[in-house]
Every structure is written in C-alpha cells, then in structure tokens.
Amino acid sequence: MSDIIKQSRQSVGKFWPADYIQALARRHPDQSGLALVNPRNGKVVSAGDAKIPVSIQSVSKLPNAILLGMHVGFGDGPGQLWDIIGKTATGQAFNADKTTPGKPWKPMNPCVNIGALAVMNGICEHFPDDERPEYRLRDLLRELSGDDSIDVDEAVAMSEYNDSENNRRLLQKLDRERQKVNSTYPNAPEDRKFKEIDIDRVLRAYCRQCAIVITPEKMAKALWTLEHGKDKSGKPYIAGEALEQMKEVMRTAGAYDQAGDVSTKTSGKAKVKTGVGGLIAGWIRDKKGRDIPVCTFDPSLNTHGNSKGGLAMLGALSRLNLAFPARNHLERLLEDKVSTIYAPKESPESVSTNLLKQLDKVQQIHLKKLAMAELSPAAREKINDRSENGFYLKRLDTTAGKSLPLQSKTLLVADGVDGKRRTYTMIDDHHIEIEHTGEKVVKGAIKIVVTDTPDAELTADKSAQKVTPT
C-alpha cells in the first residue's frame, strides 16, 4: 500500500487544489493516504496519511442520501428518496444544473450539487425543528465509524458559504420549478405539494455538511459498518438491494463527467464518490468479487475536480488481484458472534495449548462473560492472556456419558448472540464438523449442528460423528 501511494504521488504532476474554498486550499498540500477494510471482520488496514482528519466535501453526498433514505424510504414512491432525486448520470460537471428530462423539479442523481442540495432540503423538511440539520449526518458518521471526534470545521464551512452563489442559484431554480408544479396542479393533495425551500437554511446546512472532517480510516470503516452493521434497534442500516442501487449510482455518477473514465481505468471495479477536498470513498471489487471498502486521500485535483492521486491509487488497486486472506475453521466458528464456548475441563494440556495457538490467529472473538472452569493454572493463564472477554469452559459428555479427549470428536457447544446454539464436533486438532438442524451441510472440513437442547440433555450425534470431512 505504501508503494501504491508513492507511485501515485509521483504520477500526479501538475495539479490544482480546491483554491475556490480558501480555508481548504491551505490544508494538507503534501499528504496522501490509503485505507482498506477487510470485508469479513471490519479490520482497517492503511498506509500513508490515512489517520489525519480531512474535509469530507462531496464524499458526504453518499451518506447524506442514505440518511434521508433511512427516514423516508429507498423506493420511488411519493416522498421517498428516488422520488426526490433520480439515479441517472448527467455526464456533466459537479455544478451543472441539469435535471431529469420532463421533470425539471427532480435532479438526476444525488452526486451532483443540485441533487445533493435536494437531499439536504429533504433532511431539513423531515426535521423542521433541527437548528443544525447537518448534525444528523455528523452523528451518523460518528456511529458508523465509532469516532466521536468527527465534527464540522466551521472555518471551511464559512469559507464555502461565502463562495456559494452557484449553489444558491441551483436552489432557487429547484424552488421555481417546484412552485410551477404546485401552480399547475392546485387541487393536488397537500402532502403531494412541494413546500417552499428555505434556501438559506438549506445552503448553510449543506456547507457545514461538506465541511465535516473525518480520517480516511474512519470513512472506510463507516462504509463497512453501513453495509455489515446494525443500528441501535438491531436493524441493518440499509437493505442490500438499496445499497447496491447506491453503489451503481456511485459507479456511473460518483466522479461526475469523469465517471466513465474512472470505470474503464479500474475495469469497472470501483464504485466511489469523489470530493474536492481530495477524498475518494466507496468500494472496489477484489478478485473474489467482494466489494472492499476503500478511502483514498490526496489533495491533487484534476480539471474535473477529482483527486488525481486518489484515482491513481484506485487504478493500481484494480490491477493488483486484491484479496484478503480467507478465514480458517476456528475463525469461522468464533466470528459467528459466539457469546459462550463450552469445552471439556479435562482436556490434555498439549491439546489446550494447540487450541490456544489457533485462537491466537483469530482477530475478532465475540465472547461475553469471563467465568473460568476447572482448567489447569497454566491453561487458565494462557486463556486469560488471549481472550479479550474470556471463555466459559465446562465439561460435556458425549454418547453414553463417555468422556472423550478434545482431539477425539469432542463436542464444543457455542451459544450465539442470536439465541441459537451451535454444536461443533472436533475431528482432530485441525478439523471441525458443523451441521444445521434439518439440513446437513459439509463445507470443507466443517459441519454445523444447531440445537436448542439444554445442557443436561446434550449428547453427541452419532451420525454426525461418522461424517468424514472433505
């Protein structure tokens, strides 16, 4: 990754910072950074200046559109996101005033300024009592990234507001077209009539939205959580189909009139949103067809207003056959959001040590409460050293009440946070059988048993023990 940054920086040549925003032009002129997120566990890997806070600028248009969709719906029904804005590329610059043919009140997509302004107007209308509606986006990014230091750079916001006449003109045009519709259909239901746009409120909120500062690492992490995480109520932030639609909009319109060029130079792998602050964020497809969250930073802008260095990094990544290592069997077991693991208390010391060595390789262990059982002091110490939250170890008897050593088809029972119990049969030190209730599935050396049997009644499944892992 460091080599990619170095080579991309060397290829930049002459560039133009966003000097029309005076406060932004003086920030980070010689810095570059790159951050990627492992799609299976959310671990961020980065290089260069990926830990410095930078101005999000137009990269904010993606999460803000998603924020609006979370409240009004991602469909194209009345008042929903795709009723307010379209999903079609303009083929024009970021500040063009082009709208949907036949629907001049509807911007063509959320990536161009007029579309992003329509989205912010939707936020302002949905939260009429909010004094600072842009804080909705700030708080969402804090939640997604786990970083409460994310905030608005007021100096950049004011600098942008002082040079916002074009955006004011776009809002005025949008408001005129909407009022024409109201005049044409005076008997339309009140909930289908357009409200008058509070131009100054929307404009100030939009400038502050673009002035949010975030590190490339945290931006990439936010995208991963958006796709794989759940909100405080336990629901996904955005449904898979809605997110895929947003990704396609980014692929076709995220780089404005350079979107086609970006797509061809990355072999269609990049689905990103660019910003004049030098940030580019989105997803890039790896060799296994998975979308990897990515965020680049380089303040070198080309004539389209996109980061030259950032686009060079994306091009290099697309040629790499990018892939993160696959999970081993124990990682698959533990990353299933296991809250409790049970294992025989009389496991041989050598086997306990071997199991702990495998646990060392696990990057995320979702376990709850520490309640150590009767292990040897050495084994207990090793488990304490390697577990963030601890293990609950207890004895399990297999068929006919016979105790078996760990390497001899011993059961490990895992109670998941989803309330389901998973029973794992150790075939040997390196193989685990897993079976789903009612449906036997063998994947590699793994076979899963999901059962609701209480501890006292839990016995080994003879048929499961006979399955030979492939």
- Enter the pTM of the model: 0.71
d(CA 125, CA 144): 24
**Helix axis angle, 308-318 relative to 2-12, nearest 10°?**
130
304 and 334: one domain?
A: no
300 within some domain: yes
Domain boundary among 265, 295, 318: 318
Q: What is the pLDDT of residue 72?
A: 95
Q: Show pLDDT as tens, one digit a residue, over the chain (470 residues).
A: 888 988 888 877 666 666 666 666 666 677 899 999 998 888 899 999 999 999 999 999 999 999 999 999 999 999 999 999 999 999 899 999 989 999 999 999 999 999 999 999 999 999 999 999 999 999 999 999 999 999 999 999 999 999 899 999 999 999 999 999 999 999 988 888 999 999 999 999 999 999 999 999 999 999 999 999 888 888 889 988 999 999 999 999 999 999 999 999 999 999 999 999 999 999 999 988 889 999 999 988 888 989 999 999 999 999 987 877 665 444 444 444 333 333 333 333 333 444 444 433 332 232 222 222 223 444 444 434 333 333 322 222 223 333 333 333 334 444 444 444 444 444 443 444 444 333 333 332 222 222 223 332 333 333 333 222 22
Residues 6+ apart with CB under 8 A from 19: 25
Q: Which of 49, 68, 53, 56 is nearest to 110 (CA)?
A: 68
Q: What is the mean pLDDT of the chain?
A: 74
DSSP string, 384-438: HHH-SS--B------GGG----TTTT-EEEEEETTS-EEEEEEEETTEEEE-BTT
470 within some domain: no
Max Cα–Cα distance, the chain, nearest Å: 83
**Number of domains the chain is built from:** 2
* Strand residues in 320-410 grouped as ranges (E): 338-342
80 and 178: one domain?
A: yes
Q: What is the pLDDT of residue 398?
A: 29
38 and 124: one domain?
A: yes
113 within some domain: yes
Domain boundary among 289, 318, 347: 318
Q: What is the pLDDT of residue 289?
A: 87
183 and 227: one domain?
A: yes
Quote the tokens at residue 105. 């009140």
Domain boundary among 266, 297, 318: 318
Structural domain boundaries enclosing 402: 329-465
447 within some domain: yes
136 and 237: one domain?
A: yes
265 and 374: one domain?
A: no
pLDDT one-digit tens code per residue, 96-108: 998 999 999 999 9
324 within some domain: no
295 and 369: one domain?
A: no
